[in-house]
Structure formats: C-alpha cells, structure tokens
Structure 1
Amino acid sequence: MTSGSTPPPALDAAALDGLEAVSAAVLAMSGHLEVREVLRRITASARSLLGAEYAALGVPDDHGGFAQFVVDGVTDEQWRAIGPLPRQHGVLATMLHEYTPTRLADVRQAPAFGGWPEAHPELKDFLGMPILDGEEILGAVFLANKPGGFTDHDERLLRMLAAHASLALANANLYERSRELTLAGERARIAHDLHDAVSQKLFSLRLTAKAAATLVDRDPARARQELHEVARLAAEAADELRAVVIELRPAALDEDGLVATLASQVQVLDRAHTATVVFDEDGGVRTLPPAQEAAVLRIAQEALHNALRHARPRRVEVTLRGTRNRGALLRVTDDGCGFDPESVRRAGRHLGLVSMRDRAQTVGGHLTLTSAPGRGTVIELEVPGA
C-alpha cells in the first residue's frame, strides 16, 4: 500500500454472510461432472442461498423451448401432477432469450404470463437470472416466493452464483462430450476387432463346414478332419466374441477403484480362457487422478487382449505396484510365443501398441515393451500420481 492511500472499505457482516453463502453454493455444485446433477445442484443452491420457496432451472433446446428442466421445492408427486415440461410459452420460456435478470413483484401480472396447470404451486414474487457463457445462454434459473420479496441484494447474489454456475455447467458439458467421443472411439475399435477377428473366423468356419459336407460321402476320413477344424474355429470365434463382450462391460472405476476393477476383469478373463490369468498388487497403490486410472485400465485391457489373442500363452501375469512419486507401475507378462517388435512395426502391424503409447503419453506416463520370438512379452506402464 502506498503512503497516503485509502484502504478499501471493510465488508459488513451481511456482505460476508452473502459471500460465505455463495462460496458454499459454488462448492456444492462444482464437485460434479454429470450435467443433470450439476443442474440439480445449481437449482438447490440458488433456492437455499436466497431463501426462496421454489426454484427451477431450464436449459434451452434448438427450438426455443426447454431441453431440460429441473425443480427444487416441489415433491415428486406434485411434479407428476403438474404434467409435461413447459415449452415455448410463459415467463420462463421468454427468459431463455433474455441476457438480463427479470425481477417481478407478482409474476401473474407479467404480460407473458400464460397461467399454469391446476396442480402447479401458486407463485407470486419472482426472480429470473440467465446463465451465460459469453453470448451463449446455457440456461436460466428461476426463484419464486420469498418472504418479503426479492431485493437488489438478492439479485447481486444470484448474479454471482450464475457466473460460477456457468463455469460448472460448461465444464460438465465438456466432460459429457468428451465421454461421448471416448465411447464412440471404443465402439469403433470394437467394431474393428469384430471385423478383423470374429468375422474372419466365421467366414473360415463356413467354408470349412461346406468342405466337410462335400467330403462326407467320398472321403469320410478327410471329412472328419474338416469337422475337427470346424470345432477349432468355432472355439476360437467364441473366445474372440467373449473378449469383445468383456471389453463392453463398464469399468466401474468410480465405484470400485482401479485395483478392484482390474482384479475383477482378470478373474473374468481367467475363467473365459484356457490360459491362467493372475493379478497381484502390493497394497501400495494410492488413488490416482481419474485420467491416469482410466489409462492404466485401458492399457492393461489392451495388453491382456493381445496376449490372449496372439501369443498362445499358458500363463499371463498382471501386477500393479505403487511408486515413490505416488503413481503406479503396471506390468503385464506372458509366456507366449513372443515376437520381434521391429519386424511388426515394419510390417505395419501395431497390435494396439500405438493406442497404448498414445494413452500413456496423454497422462504423462511411460510405456515400454520387451519381446522376442519364443521369449514371451512384457509390457510396463508407469504413470505419475497427483
């Protein structure tokens, strides 16, 4: 502070209480990533912050109405009795096109008021605030029925909350879009696996079965050989389908954590394949950031998939260890046929190695692969912690 400067005025108790209330509301809605839950938290926080009897939050669709509508202060039974969502009429819908707040002493006297269903609560004083991301209206929050009516102070508090709500809602939207892209990528990969593996097996199976049928009368011994080949191909196709179905199962990382999820998937693979598949961890793996846990799980799945599909192993071992930097070290080892990594690279066959390395780099991890013909394969991934 320079000499002679005037200190800023101290905040009075009411202002401090308001800031603390806004802070509590922001914390309540910022710890969630699913859009619906964020909308619910914003609505409940706004109602609690301003002491209103009812609160609602609408998100616009592409047709001038509501894509989503969340309420607080109304029971489930009341909401079902009210009926369908409000669409393109009334004060609420007009708020989806307003960049400024709307404060009314009696919402029933507003020109745009179009009434409400018989089971709808009786609303009087009203405060509506847009949730803006630049020039885009992400939604609008509405409050009604506060004892004594809404004040300038209430409007300032709600404006502050709406600014933070915009960040929380934009973050949740980005998260869901990212998840949709990830799911689309996983579907594309699984479709590729089905085409490359299962469909080829089934094509071979059909041809071999036809050959066996033509040989039954003139060369029964050869027909029996072909039928043995049919059985072998059918078993391989079943294994391929089983592997794809297992990969479709949800990871359950949020509920069970990385160690339990990985252990569960290893158990399923051990039951599904003739090879012995085992998992071991040292108890020192700390909770990792979500992106790191997802990368470890996906790389483990890819390494197991490669080993069981291509290496013809008798045993596959998966180990997970904690590291000094609070990260984790994953190792997937098989005693299968092995391969020459350089020859595979020159031939343009990647065995999922490119995607594994990309996943590792995305989370700041390091992936190494060691293999040789007849010597099995070891894949190691180290990722940093928080």
Structure 2
Amino acid sequence: MSTEEPTAACDPCLGGIEAVSTAVLAMSRHLEVREVLRRITASARSLLGAEYAALGVPDDHGGFAQFVVDGVTDEQWKAIGPLPRQHGVLATMLHQLTPTRLTDVRQAPAFEGWPAAHPDMKDFLGMPIIDGTEILGAVFLANKKGGFTEHDEELLRILAAHAALALGNARLYERSRELTLAGERARIAHDLHDAVSQKLFSLRLTAKAAATLVDRDPVRARAELAEVARLAAEAADELRAVVVELRPAALDEDGLVATLASQVQVLDRAHTAAVRFSSQGVRTLPPAQEAAVLRVAQEALHNALRHSEAASVEVTLAGTPARGAVLRVADDGRGFDPAAVRRAGRHLGLVSMRDRVATVGGRLSLESAPGKGTVIELEVPGA
C-alpha cells in the first residue's frame, strides 16, 4: 500500500554505503513485524528507484502469511483482490536462495499473469531474505527506468541481509511480548484467586452466620449483615480493577494520553482512593514506547490501589526536550522498604516493569519508605 512518509530519503544515484545505511536505519528503528516488513519494502523501492515493491512472507499452506506492497494506492490494492498465492515467479523466488533479475517478467517461463486491476510490470528484480538456509520471505521490485543492473542486485542483496536481522529481531520482540502478556494473564488469574475468591468465601461464611442468628440474636445478625455488605463492596472493587486490566488499551485509536486519562478515570470511580491524572507537552511516541509507558502505569497503579492503602494516587505524564516522556506515579500510602521487599523475594511487579523498560531503552526508578508513600518514575526516549 502507499506510504505517506519517506522511509529512506536517499537518491538512488548515490548507489553506495550512504544510501544503504539510510535504508537500513529506516527499517531497523521498529520492533513490530508488520512495520518492519513495511519499512523493508519501502526502503528497497526508494533505494533502487523502482516504481513498485512488494515483500511476501510465506505460510505453510501455499499462500502468504503476510504480503506488503509499496507504490500501489489503497484503492488499487483493494481492486486487485485477495492476496496472491505462491505460484509463478513468486513461488520460484520463495524456493531458491539466489536472486532473480529479468528484463521482462511477462516473458518468464514461470509467469502466469495477474489480476485485471494489477499494475502492468516489466523489468523485475527479486531477492530472497535468508536466515542461514531458511527463506524468511522475498522482496520484489518492478519497473525501474532503464532496468535493473548488476549493481542494483548487489545493493538489494546487502539490504536483504540486514532485513533478515531486522525481521528476526522483530519476531523475537513479538515473542517476548507474547510471553509478557501470558505472564500478565497468569498474574491476573492469581489476583482473582487470592483476592476475589477469598473475599467471596468469607462473604458466604458471614452470610451463613447471619442467617443462623436472625431469630436468636437479631443485633448480632445485623452486624454480620453489615460485614456481608462490606465484603461484597470489596469484592466488587477487586472485580472492577481486574476488568480494567483485562480491557484492551485503546492506544492505536486514542493515543497514550487519552488512554491513560480514561483508565485513571475508571479506577477513580472503582476505588475509594482518589486517582488523578495530568499531562503536559507529550508528543506522540513510537508504539513500543507508548505500550511500555501504559503497562508500567497500570502495574504501578495496581500496586498503589491494592497494597498501599493510599488515600490518593497522582499520575503525571510530561514530555521531554528530547521528544521522549516521563511518567510519574505517586501515592500517599503506607510505603515500604525496597531492600526488605527484595530480601523477602517479593517484587511487586518490578521485574516485569524493568523488563518492559529495558526493551525500549528507558529508565525506571522507585522511591519508597515505610509511612512515606511510593513514587515510581519512568523515562522513555522519543523517536
């Protein structure tokens, strides 16, 4: 699909280290697989001055797990129809370790035509993206004024080698994120069992006790029923907090500031503690940084509202001169001795917070003392 921003702002005539370096940097700044694929495709097209570019990642069923194009408008792409299958020249490219350079792809023995809405293509250069002997995918370029040269082929070979590294890193990052999410689900399940389940068990026992006292001791029965009401309210608070954590963040649609503000508002309604949020001068951050800030904020709020007995929690988010952001979560709760917590083998989610921060090159600090509340501060770099 068409890209609105220049991915690799380089003149194809440069044809050297500077041009390749620009393209490699453009595709290496991102961690999500889809974005890395898009950057590789756009970088290859810009580097070699081609009219069209595509990158296909095969699945195990004769199709493509992912297929990204550049130089084709959204309207053209919709008109073309379903993703291509692995056939013809595309299939050849995905089953050989060597590049394919053709003066006219339409004259190739393996050519099988294309849909009616497909752009007309002539000169063609295809390069496999290889990790060892495994073909991760292939990048295809078409329609260059004057045709593709041996020098173009060599440039694309270098780019494809770096693309393999970038794609491998992105896949490792996404796998790490999946494991983190699995860990979060396990933690939430643990919270449900330890907090909500125990309160419901206590509530049931108290209700039974009240039932047996209704006739012989109405005063004590009323006291027990009051305890039932208190336990029910606490269980409802716990459930609301868990639902908030399970609710998917609206980062893509609303952005970090709006998402944080919305979640803080919900938590303020769900808990007796006053939870407040303010922001100033925050620019849009890369997706990985925004996700890290949001998750750290959620973990810090979880600790403050579940464990600190705080009367108020202040969440602030401010931009930095370097286009990054600083998150601060401060509560007036009972606080704790961080060293004692570490010696006891408890982490209060700090391990997962630090892991998230490390993946985006950020910095995390914690200040707390018994009776003096807790402050967690996170700083992340910008783009």
TM-score range, shorter chain: 0.7 to 0.9
The alpha-carbon distance between structure 1 residues 284 and 47, as it changes in their structure 2 partners (threshold 3 A), is closer
Q: Conserved in 2, the CA contact under 8 Å of 1:344 and 1:350?
A: yes
Shift of 1:151: 1.9
Select the structure of larger CA radius of gyration: 1
Shift of 1:186: 1.6
Tell me, yes or no, if structure 1 residue 167 matches structure 2 residue 165. Answer: yes
Q: How does 1:349-360 map to 2 (within 5 A)?
A: 351-352=348-349
Q: Conserved in 2, the CA contact under 8 Å of 1:54 and 1:145?
A: yes
State the identity as a percent.
Answer: 78
Q: Secondary structure, in 3 states, of the residue corresponding to 1:187?
A: helix
AA aligned to 2:234 is E
The alpha-carbon distance between structure 1 residues 62 and 193, as it changes in their structure 2 partners (threshold 3 A), is same
Moved more, 269-278 or 283-292: 283-292
Shift of 1:122: 3.3
Question: Residue by residue, what CA displacement relative to the aligned partner does 1:70-100 show, whole Å, maximum 9, x if unpaired?
Answer: 1223333332333222223211022112111
The alpha-carbon distance between structure 1 residues 199 and 164, as it changes in their structure 2 partners (threshold 3 A), is same
Q: Secondary structure, in 3 states, of the residue corresponding to 2:14?
A: helix
Distance 2:146 2:339 in 1: 77
Query: 1:186 matched to which residue of 2?
Result: 184
Distance 2:154 2:351 in 1: 52
Q: How does 1:257-336 map to 2 (within 5 A)?
A: 268-277=266-275, 301-316=298-313, 332-336=330-334
Shift of 1:56: 1.2
TM normalised by structure 1 equals 0.74
Distance 1:106 1:329 in 2: 56
Moved more, 161-170 or 233-242: 161-170
Distance 2:49 2:208 in 1: 77
Shift of 1:67: 0.9
Shift of 1:358: 7.5
Question: Residue by residue, what CA displacement relative to the aligned partner does 1:158-212 show, whole Å, maximum 9, x if unpaired?
Answer: 2222223223322322222222222222222122111211222223333434444
Distance 1:322 1:48 in 2: 33
Q: How does 1:1-386 map to 2 (within 5 A)?
A: 17-19=14-16, 20-213=18-211, 215-216=213-214, 219-248=217-246, 250=249, 252=251, 268-277=266-275, 301-316=298-313, 332-336=330-334, 351-352=348-349, 367=366, 369-371=368-370, 375=371, 377-378=373-374
Query: 2:4 matched to which residue of 1?
Result: none
Q: Conserved in 1, the CA contact under 8 Å of 2:315 and 2:327?
A: no
Q: Secondary structure, in 3 states, of the residue corresponding to 1:121?
A: coil
Query: 2:6 matched to which residue of 1?
Result: none
The alpha-carbon distance between structure 1 residues 329 and 245, as it changes in their structure 2 partners (threshold 3 A), is closer
AA aligned to 1:334 is D
The alpha-carbon distance between structure 1 residues 301 and 65, as it changes in their structure 2 partners (threshold 3 A), is closer
The alpha-carbon distance between structure 1 residues 150 and 334, as it changes in their structure 2 partners (threshold 3 A), is same
Question: Residue by residue, what CA displacement relative to the aligned partner does 1:12-49 show, whole Å, maximum 9, x if unpaired?
Answer: xx996112443443343233322212222222232233
Equivalent residues, number? 367
Distance 1:361 1:154 in 2: 38
Distance 1:360 1:114 in 2: 49
Shift of 1:57: 0.8
Question: Residue by residue, what CA displacement relative to the aligned partner does 1:318-370 show, whole Å, maximum 9, x if unpaired?
Answer: 689999xx99795734344x678899788876655666687789967554542
Q: Secondary structure, in 3 states, of the residue corresponding to 1:80?
A: helix
Shift of 1:252: 4.8
Distance 2:302 2:56 in 1: 45
Q: Conserved in 2, the CA contact under 8 Å of 1:360 and 1:367?
A: no
Q: Conserved in 1, the CA contact under 8 Å of 2:210 and 2:224?
A: yes
Distance 2:232 2:368 in 1: 32
**What runs of 5+ residues in structure 2 fail to find an aligned partner?**
1-10
Distance 2:110 2:46 in 1: 27
AA aligned to 1:308 is L
AA aligned to 1:314 is A
Query: 2:8 matched to which residue of 1?
Result: none
Q: Conserved in 2, the CA contact under 8 Å of 1:55 and 1:142?
A: yes
Distance 1:79 1:310 in 2: 52
Distance 1:160 1:128 in 2: 13
The alpha-carbon distance between structure 1 residues 210 and 365, as it changes in their structure 2 partners (threshold 3 A), is same
Distance 2:57 2:81 in 1: 18
